[in-house]
Structure 1
Amino acid sequence: MSTTPTAASRLLVLILCTLAISCSSGIAGFAAGDDDAFIRCLAAAAVPPRLVHTPGSASYAPTLVSSIRNLRFVTPGTPRPLAIVAAAEAGHAQAAVRCGRRHGVRVRARSGGHDYEGLSYLSLDRRERFAVLDLAALRDVRVDADRAEAWVGSGATLGELYYAVGAASRTLAFPAGVCPTVGVGGHISGGGFGTLMRRYGLAADNVLDAVLVDADGRLLNRTTMGEGLFWAIRGGGGESFGVVLSWKLRLVRVPETVTVFTIRRPRNQSATDLITKWQEISPSLPRDVILRVVVQSQHAQFESLFLGRCRRLARLMRARFPELGMTQSDCEEITWIQSTVYFAFYSSSKPLELLLDRGTEPDRYFKAKSDYVQEPIPRHAWESTWPWLEEHDAGLLILDPYGGEMARVSPAATPFPHRKGNLYNLQYYSFWFEHGAETLERHLSWVRGLYGEMEPYVSKNPRTGYVNYRDMDLGRNEIEGNVTSYTKGKVWGEKYFRGNFERLAAVKAMVDPDDFFRNEQSIPPLPAAKGWSSI
């Protein structure tokens, strides 16, 4: 039986796409100053005034909100940047960093604005003087189909990247996420997983080079930045080390025809049993297929991409997961570029140009958390989640299976450590539209409560999470002296990066020892006393 996307399914894509620092003085190369001096410095560095938005200008508010995806961070009283520098070329980014250091203004870089906790454009410390370096204009995508490579600006969205790749070739793709409005810069710098990860790994696994502005305002590439820094920005959160302006990507081969399906099963039609069984099957499937699950209300939605024809996929599902009841009538044969539209909008018939829509002002509030699951969660635990979802229509669970290429790559190959041994990533997500403290607390309590319920069944020592699903509940930085505390940073850092956290801190100490690039969950410099043999 063919499954037709419902109104709830169409709403789901909208939900999925919404996918303590004091002001320093006395730091070497980072002086105190006044706001006007920072603006004058930018002008002296030939940054056009039209690209510098200050609170007194009419363009400030719309520019700030243009890339915010979460209404939690547009409420009155949220600390705002003293300026937004909308860089149109590399020199503007260099000027923002150099002027910031000279006049005591820290710089936070923003590409797509999907940061779950808003740290790319706000500060939780009202004392901090900071500017936002907005990269949205740095969005060129240049595809070399003959070499199967592309250069893409950090301000481009995944949709813009996919569109350009699809226009250049029917048999090339790039492995990254399902939400087209996510900015390339933030996505890659945190790892970046999506529907091709079981065949080709993360977005960060397929980076060949990058152009970065360092803490001294220098423009560096892979050769001049060195392999230690190049390693760190591919999954370690690039905002801790500099501002990545562009990325050179390895494109991957896909067949001209791929297959997709979406099958919805309600709780009263064995959804619990299917999810329980799915945990054992999905990570061990051939790496050319991914089968993910979204659970909302009283339904489980099974979504698949297969790099091949429908007949082969139906045969595979009958052999490996007959309980799902998938048949050839459930699937659709399309091109890879159409599959990106399918997963973004639950329809392959919509125009490809939708991938170029960068989104509008935020229309919802949300809070998310994540886990990694290393042993199948027992049936009774899944059964206990239904009451949580029944009482909270605005909550959902997203299960993305690993295995395949994700299990083959060493956990130390990039800062992203969640490789072999992880069955899947589990995301808890709550969204709402009403404003008010009581509503906020109710939704935060829901997502935190369900997260607490699942603690016995997920990774331990530490309980891990995905840095691109940033979660301030895991901990926040504190300042000791003039730099971020390494000891405090470990509290949250090892949950995202496990054993790679210390190496990331060593790179930070090498490239930004004064801790210019920092936020509430940035990598701290490794104390000199600890040392590090090689980065």
Structure 2
Amino acid sequence: MESHPLVLLVLFFFMSQSTYSQQTPFTSCLQTKIGPLTNILYAPENPSYKPTLQEYVKNSRFNKSTTPKPNYIVTPNTFAHVQAIVNCANGNNIQIKIRSGGHDYEGISYTSTEPSFILLDMFNLRNISVNVGARLAYVQAGAQIGELYYNIWKASNNLAFPGGVCPTMGIGGHISGGGYGAMLRKYGLSVDNVVDAEIVDVNGRILDRKSMGEDLFWAIRGGGGASFGVILSYTVTLVDVPEIVTVFRVERVLEENATDLVNRWQYIAPVIDNRLFLRLFIQPVTIKPHGKTIKASFIAMFLGNGQELLGVTNKEFPELGVNKNDLREMSWIDSVLYFANFDNKTKPEILLDRHSDTVNFGKKKSDYFQTPVPKTGLDLIFKKMMELGNVVIQWNPYGGVMAQIPSSATPFPHRAGFLWKMQYLVDWKDATMEKENLNQMRILYDFMTPYASNSPRGAFLNYRDIDIGVNHNGANSYAEGKVYGEKYFLGNFDRLVKIKTAVDPKNFFRNEQSIPTSSTK
């Protein structure tokens, strides 16, 4: 019998609008609490399930047919929806993974090692309001950092927020893990500029700073929000920026004295004028006439004009040879675009494009350094990088305000005494290169052991690294958590455990690197 086109159209419409084909205790609970689940809950058979899942996957390593998939994706439109989702998942003992932007380097925010889980995707909750008079901004967890920057810029040319340089990072994960960018030496981390927050706790309550108490408020400013509840919003302090900031990028290869310049950078970048952030990027390259070599890129942002910057560099780092032709003066918002690697003609409206980044396969790791690497060590590192061929290293200087904030002020502990943070990066487009590139990364990371911090070797939570420890959330949860927890949080780990035990004693909010409770000590 021939199908009538109208019947097929109606069937397609019904299938696309249906969110699930079978009632389960979780879906029944959710429907009872919030009503129809159309455009809120997606089961695997729904046509919108796959594109919704993939929309905010920012690492192709976790977008494979073999990648564990959630039983349901839920996309709340209101805070009340989040409360209902938490209550229904908790009541039915189903794990929740919380995704605000999808930039988790290990895909932990949207995959799981547990057999059943729900993805709570926050992308609909992205309201932003800026109060110039109070120098505050309210931003919901599903907003991206670029959207926050844009809204601040539209409201004021002289205010900004010290956050990361990748505009598509979700607020919930970025800030709750620490958050940093080109103004950290002047204004500290993102979490150093948070004055309030809203969270849904394990009991489904919406709590602000006053009602959650100072312990929990401390924990969600650098300890990772997903261990303690669902971050709904942050209220942040805005900071002063001049109408003109200055950037430059100076590049040298080994044959142009790059090793000596990198060596000098180690002694200068952490102690120079705190208005200057001088990032160093080291990568193996093959160029004529040198062949295989190392290129060192010195990438700067200075909170001031070019003449002021030249005064600083000529005095403190004359060896770099920065001159006025290297400098570009611009507004703060244009410096955001510059550090995000957009071209000169790009307008700030690109920050409203939630998919402006390129998604590849990738692996990242991090280290902290408390002493400079000897020049002989630099020679060995550069030789190893050239042998490997694909891994690059980003050096991010600390000092300035970072050295003045106590290590216990937030869960993020790497303050005074830490000269810089390294990020090791390797990205690739060909899926068949995964094994080779992961192996290169681990070889270089092992090679760096003598030079990095130790006892423990530190790591940065926002640069999630599953290699440093995994929690199976069983009888050994505390011991497993301590392995990676002390690397991320040093002496602050046990305070986080104490707070976790108080606010989520049954460990409902858990993941492969969450804060454990003390019950498994």
Residue 406 of structure 1 pairs with residue 402 of structure 2:
yes
Preserved contact between residue 365 and residue 463 of structure 2 (Cα < 8 Å): yes
Preserved contact between residue 68 and residue 362 of structure 1 (Cα < 8 Å): no
CA distance in 1, matches of 2:473, 2:181: 35
CA distance in 1, matches of 2:474, 2:464: 23
User: Among 517, 522, 526, which residue is 2:514 paired with?
Assistant: 522
Preserved contact between residue 159 and residue 180 of structure 1 (Cα < 8 Å): yes
Q: Deviations over 1:109-130 (max 9, x none)?
A: 10010000111000123x2x21
Residue 397 of structure 1 pairs with residue 393 of structure 2:
yes
1:152 counterpart SS class: strand
CA positional deviation for 1:526: 2.0
Residue 107 of structure 2 corresponds to 118
Residue 343 of structure 1 pairs with residue 330 of structure 2:
no
Residue 201 of structure 1 pairs with residue 188 of structure 2:
yes
User: Among 161, 166, 177, which residue is 1:179 paired with?
Assistant: 166
What TM-score comes out, normalization by structure 2 length? 0.92
CA positional deviation for 1:348: 4.3
Q: Deviations over 1:4-52 (max 9, x none)?
A: xxxxxxxxxxxxxxxxxxxxxxxxxxxxxx9722112212111532111
CA distance in 2, matches of 1:422, 1:92: 42
Task: Give the 5 Å matches for 1:21-32.
Answer: none
CA positional deviation for 1:267: 1.9
1:444 counterpart SS class: helix
Amino acid in the other structure paired with 1:235: G
Residue 237 of structure 1 pairs with residue 224 of structure 2:
yes
Amino acid in the other structure paired with 1:466: F
CA distance in 2, matches of 1:119, 1:410: 29
CA distance in 1, matches of 2:269, 2:390: 26
Amino acid in the other structure paired with 1:123: S
CA distance in 2, matches of 1:394, 1:449: 12
Residue 156 of structure 1 corresponds to 143
Preserved contact between residue 67 and residue 361 of structure 1 (Cα < 8 Å): no
CA distance in 2, matches of 1:319, 1:186: 39
Amino acid in the other structure paired with 1:257: I
Task: Give the 5 Å matches for 1:55-454.
Answer: 55-125=44-114, 127=115, 129-297=116-284, 298-345=294-341, 347-359=343-355, 363-436=359-432, 439-454=433-448
2:34 counterpart SS class: coil
Residue 503 of structure 2 corresponds to 511
CA positional deviation for 1:237: 0.5
Q: Note the residue ranges of structure 2 that are not aligned, 5 or more in a row.
A: 1-21, 285-293
CA positional deviation for 1:312: 1.1
CA distance in 1, matches of 2:57, 2:390: 20
1:519 counterpart SS class: coil
Q: Deviations over 1:229-264 (max 9, x none)?
A: 000000000000000111101000111111111111
Amino acid in the other structure paired with 1:110: R
Residue 34 of structure 2 corresponds to 46
CA distance in 1, matches of 2:176, 2:28: 31
Amino acid in the other structure paired with 2:494: E
Amino acid in the other structure paired with 2:25: A
Residue 11 of structure 2 corresponds to none
What TM-score comes out, normalization by structure 1 length? 0.89
Q: Highest CA radius of gyration, 1 or 2?
A: 2
CA positional deviation for 1:478: 2.8
Report the count of equivalent residues. 490
CA distance in 1, matches of 2:303, 2:39: 47
Amino acid in the other structure paired with 1:376: P
Answer with 297-306 or 355-364: which moved more.
355-364
Q: Deviations over 1:333-368 (max 9, x none)?
A: 111111101110254442111111211696311111
Q: Deviations over 1:58-79 (max 9, x none)?
A: 1011101111111110112211
- Give identity over the alignment, percent: 45
Amino acid in the other structure paired with 2:385: L
Answer with 59-68 or 348-357: which moved more.
348-357
Preserved contact between residue 110 and residue 119 of structure 2 (Cα < 8 Å): yes
Residue 455 of structure 2 corresponds to 461
User: Among 467, 471, 480, which residue is 1:473 paired with?
Assistant: 467
Answer with 259-268 or 55-64: which moved more.
259-268
Aligned residues: CA RMSD: 1.5
Amino acid in the other structure paired with 1:505: V
Residue 5 of structure 2 corresponds to none
CA positional deviation for 1:310: 0.4
CA positional deviation for 1:276: 1.1
Q: Deviations over 1:202-250 (max 9, x none)?
A: 0001001001000111111001000000000000000000001111010
Q: Deviations over 1:462-497 (max 9, x none)?
A: 00100111111101113334xx62122101100000
2:518 counterpart SS class: coil
Select the structure with the greater relative contact order (CA < 8 A; seq sep ≥ 6): 1
1:262 counterpart SS class: strand
Q: Note the residue ranges of structure 1 that are not aligned, 5 or more in a row.
A: 1-33, 531-535
2:197 counterpart SS class: strand
Which segments of structure 1 move beyond 6 Å, counting only runs of 4 or more? none
1:143 counterpart SS class: strand
1:427 counterpart SS class: strand
Change (3 A) 1:137 1:317: same
CA positional deviation for 1:507: 0.4
CA positional deviation for 1:390: 3.1
CA distance in 1, matches of 2:425, 2:388: 11
